Chain A
């Protein structure tokens, strides 16, 4: 019978396996810690650019956006997160009427961040920003109006 299967042998091997484990944890005591100190590191925290935190409609310096009120984002959204109100405006010079955006409502509490709206937009008017600090006390505050 090998030493491992004797009574003393099992005790020796058991203690040895426990000691190996404790050696690993003791060495871990002296290594550098991986904890990220949020919120103390807020100013230097780097979040990946592609992270999807909230949908925004970027405006340029004069406050104009690129949305043409086509409604494609509303149609492709799988669960009704986006709701657009538009109105028809007649152009004085050419006499043609086109649609103009009045209000762009986006429900942050229902969005599943699937990017179908961003892919469908023909003008690139909406995009995801990586801002993640969005917790609120009131459900109604999660319905955002994206256009200015």
Chain B
């Protein structure tokens, strides 16, 4: 049975970044066969869901202004169906975490994430949400929100352009389109999510060192 590839108008499948992760996800979800009727119904429902993802108003710092620009008239995100931003986490589909998360804000973010109803998604916008960004060595900054909640899409930039944020949302739409709505597990939701090992790429320089010699 051939792999079902998600289609986004105006951008061909090959030009998207990171197709490998998506294909691995599709292979895992489709391990068992599906009923034809349920499969078609899934496609219809996923089409509806991916074109109306409503996000929670959550912006802590500079990336929040770019988020507001995406909502304004020049880079309108209502064209994609993300019509409004919901203020209450119970009514939102996804949380776009734009801005730095500090130790004081971490329990608040976790509580908002827990209050959201399934199916829910998390998008990390900007360097601060991905890895702590410019403030990586600080005593009060969380080095990336994937330490406390599972993240679906990472949008790099400091701050990312509004077009880059729209590109990230299209990646999320592709992920929603391959999910199974009726039965089957879509992703592993563990209580108290913690990654197995922290993803540290390079440490902050405490002393000035030259490159390592092999």
Q: How large is the interface on B (under 10, 10 to 19, 20 to 34, 35 or more residues)?
A: 35 or more
Q: How far is the CB of A45 from chain B (nearest CB, A)?
A: 8
- A77–B213 alpha-carbon span in the complex (Å): 19
Cα A137 to Cα B170 in complex, Å, equals 12
Name 12 A/B residue pairs within 8 A (Cβ), A-sorted: A39-B8, A39-B170, A42-B10, A45-B163, A74-B210, A80-B204, A107-B201, A108-B156, A137-B21, A139-B199, A142-B130, A143-B201
A96 CB, min distance to chain B CBs, angstroms: 16
Given A39-B11, A139-B146, residue A110 in contact with residue B136 (CB < 8 A) = yes
Instruction: Tell me whether B133 is interfacial, beta carbon within 8 Å.
Output: yes
Partner of A80, one of B11, B127, B136, B199: B136
Distance, CA A112 to CA B214, complexed state (A)? 28
Quick one: which of B131, B171, B175 has the most chain A CB within 10 A? B131
Counting CB contacts under 8 A, is A87 at the interface? yes
> How many residues does chain A have at the interface if contact means C-beta atoms less than 8 Å apart?
53
In the bound complex, residues from chain B placing their C-beta under 8 Å from that of A102 are: 214
* Contact for A112 among B76, B133, B146, B209, CB less than 8 A: B133
Q: How far is the CB of A113 from chain B (nearest CB, A)?
A: 5
* A69 in contact (CB, < 8 A): yes
A88 at interface (Cβ–Cβ under 8 A)?
Answer: yes
Interface stretch (choices B45-53, B103-111, B147-155): B147-155
